[in-house]
Amino acid sequence: MLRSLFKAAINMVKTAGQEGKDVLHKVASGRVEKPTTTATAEGEAAAARAKKPKNRKYALFLAYQGKNYFGMQVQSGMGTHQITIESKLLDAMLATGMINEQQRHKFFDWHFQRAARTDRSVSAVRQVCSFYLPLEESFVDEAPKLLNEKLPADIRVLSLRRTVPSFHAQKKCDYRTYSYTLPTFAFADVESLTNAAFRLTPERLAEVNDVLGLFVGTHNFFNYTSKKQHGDMSCNRYIVSFECGKPFTYTHDIGLKKTEYEFATIYIKGQSFMLHQIRKMIGMTLTILRGFQHKSDLTRSFESQRMDVPRAPGLGLILEKVHYQCYDRQFSKQHATLDDLGPEIESTLSGIRDELIIKEILVTEAITSSMLLWLSDLPKHDFRAIAEDEGDERKSELPMAYAKANEAEKAVKEEEEDEEAAAGDDDGNEEVKTEAEVVQEEEKIAVQA
């Protein structure tokens, strides 16, 4: 009896041990069976994880005509009516599914960064934005086409390229090249006829480049921006080149009349630029060429004394290119180059520049005469320095003459009024002049002065 019970117990232990081995064998060989629904769910989750693209760094190239926009960058507190290039770009990225609604408003979460901040009305031939996003490879190839379908016609996406994780559109940029297109009559001296008939001679072009060359090198440009002091080291900027190209003609045809204008383009290359810096550099150059200041005033503007430098119109300013030569030398074997976009895209860029940007500048200038109006205001400008800094004796001669003419005219009017009052001509009907009449009189005085 005991033997039979003992044998039964031994058999039970052996059976349990064998079952345990079978279970372990199934686990070791990966054959543990689970309910069918759980296995399916896990399989789908694994497949989804495998298909989800990784977060990678990209560089997006775009061109735009800035006439209708309040600059490149989205700014906090900006009214909804003030549309920027970035606001339109982010809307297009949201519409194509590149980003979600939260990312649309918190774009720093995915490290969105632009290479250069362009001011209001300033255009760009080759602007670059960088960001981290999980994008499908197939979408990257189609991104320019899909984004352009959602963007207005004056903003064009050129290319989307994968970069190394450390790429930063602004910090990895070696240099920036801008251009400024303007009518050549802006280079005429103040005694010459300032209209569409003016033509730039080779001798005058050499004088222009001689003045522009004074900016080349490292200087303190605190007088060429706002809210900066001379001791601020960020005002030191390096200018690689600053040169005016050969003039070209443009015929403005309004049907009844054709007018031929001559334009020229100034190119400036530097490491970086501050707010309004280039437009003020153009303004200083034109005041010297027109005789309101001297070359010595330009070199003095780099010193610690505060000067009031006029700012040229923003219409002709273009961001031509942001340079990534060092990046390409280091990473061109791993990723597509950023400094050279290839023959096809470069050809497209040239067409966009001529048709979308330059043509609009020429037409707008011919219609609005923005440069001519700006030049007409120069005699009223105190070029030398702020009055409280230097006193009236340091003001330039033409503004002083303008002020003296105003004083003389006022004295004559007061004398006439006194004579009329003495003669009994006091009917109480004081003549009130319109603002336009006052402006016309001031312009006549300025010309006489």
pLDDT (tens digit, 0 to 9) for every residue of the chain, 449 residues total? 556 655 665 566 455 555 554 544 444 445 545 545 555 656 565 555 557 889 999 999 999 999 899 999 987 654 456 899 999 999 999 999 999 999 999 988 999 999 998 888 899 999 999 999 999 988 999 999 999 999 999 999 999 999 999 999 999 999 999 999 999 999 999 888 899 999 999 999 999 999 999 999 999 999 999 889 999 999 999 999 999 999 999 999 887 889 999 999 999 999 999 989 999 999 999 999 999 999 999 999 999 999 989 999 999 999 999 999 999 999 999 999 999 999 999 999 999 999 999 999 999 999 999 999 999 998 888 766 543 333 343 444 555 554 455 555 545 555 544 444 443 333 333 333 344 443 444 444 344 43
On whether the CB atoms of residues 423 and 346 are closer than 8 A, the answer is no
Binding site residues for substrate, as ranges?
178
Q: What is the pLDDT of residue 37?
A: 54
The architecture of the domain spanning 54-162 is 2-Layer Sandwich (3.30)
On whether the CB atoms of residues 291 and 190 are closer than 8 A, the answer is yes
On whether the CB atoms of residues 352 and 156 are closer than 8 A, the answer is yes
Closest CA to 221 of 289, 320, 298: 298
Is the alpha carbon torsion for 124, 128, 131, 137 positive or negative? positive
Q: What is the pLDDT of residue 265?
A: 98
Fold of 175-383: Alpha-Beta Plaits (3.30.70)
Distance (Å, rounded) from C-alpha 116 to C-alpha 125?
12
On whether the CB atoms of residues 245 and 164 are closer than 8 A, the answer is no
Q: Which residues, other chains included, contact 54 with Cβ-Cβ below 8 Å and sequence gap of 6+? A: 134
- Per domain, the residue ranges of the chain are 54-162, 175-383, 392-409+440-449
Q: What is the pLDDT of residue 381?
A: 83
Binding site residues, as ranges?
178
pTM of the model: 0.75
Consecutive H or E run containing 64: strand 55-64
Report residue 383 as tokens: 């070029």
Shared fold status for 54-162 and 175-383: yes
Q: What is the pLDDT of residue 331?
A: 95
3-state secondary structure of 74: coil
Q: What is the pLDDT of residue 205?
A: 98
Distance (Å, rounded) from C-alpha 332 to C-alpha 330?
6
141 belongs to the catalytic site: no
* Selected catalytic residue, list 22, 109, 119, 340: 119
